[in-house]
Amino acid sequence: MQLNGARILLTGASGGLGGVLARELAQAGAALLLTGRDPVALARIDLPAGSDYRLLQADLTDAAGIDSAVAAARAFGTNILINNAGVASFGLLAEQDWNDIERILATNLGAPIRLTRALLPWLTQQPTAAVVNIGSAFGSIPFAGFTAYSAAKAGLRGFSQALRRELADSTVRVIHVAPRAIDTPINPPAVRALNRALGSATDTPEKVARHILGMLANDVAEGHIGFPERFFAWLNGCAPGLVDQGLRGKLARIKQHAAKA
């Protein structure tokens, strides 16, 4: 898909990955409609001089935020939607507050589905269009300590696959990207400590952003970023019992770090 001249609605633009992704897209020649909850954080996004962009403060977990984003996207002439906004939470399910669990599900799964659904009548009228959903390796390799987050990201992957098949006879491409851990502020100290203890690799937001741009430019429908995560995602689909056994050996360390979250 051609990025130079594309008109992109990017959600979660003020986050660690969102800001870098916005910069990479602007450098590729795209015009950007950048949304986020915090107007101060949105105003701090650093884009190349001369970039064509608009800022929109919106909470996409409520109907008013969805309505304002859709109206702005139509006025902007959007032909690519990137559902990047997300929140993470680390802890054992029985010890998590239900309000936090609802926030995780609403932000990571409910909002992308709701926004995509509302914008589809517009996108299907465009000569070329795309919906890009930023998932997680935990959507394919559900992980202890991230139960609600894994559920939301697994749902987002299923949504992406089903929608791709539903729109196969349209001009709208559906892309699902599953990064592994990214070195951004979304990861609190307890998660960083867990990644170090388990030897889990962490990517820079720049690496992830470039991977996303490559998938868009080359019309790659689905991909996991990083190895061995790509292998374990395949293995979990074929033989989840083997992954169960492998992760059981890490459970004590996960619980130890979850207690500090």
Spell out the domain ranges in the chain. Answer: 7-258
The encoded tokens of residue 89 equal 């939470």
Banded model confidence at residue 190, pLDDT cuts 50, 70, 90: confident
Per-residue pLDDT for 169 more than 80?
Answer: yes
Q: Does 261 score more than 80 pLDDT?
A: no
CATH of domain 7-258: 3.40.50.720
- Distance in angstroms (rounded) separating the CA atoms of residues 11 and 227: 27
Average pLDDT over every residue of 41-46 = 92
How is residue 76 annotated by DSSP? H
pLDDT for res 130:
98
CA distances (Å), origin 9, targets 12, 36, 83, 143, 189:
10, 11, 8, 30, 31
Q: What is the pLDDT of residues 56-99, one digit of tens each?
A: 999 999 999 999 999 999 999 999 999 999 998 899 999 999 99
| Catalytic residue numbers, as ranges | 149
Q: What is the pLDDT of residue 134?
A: 97
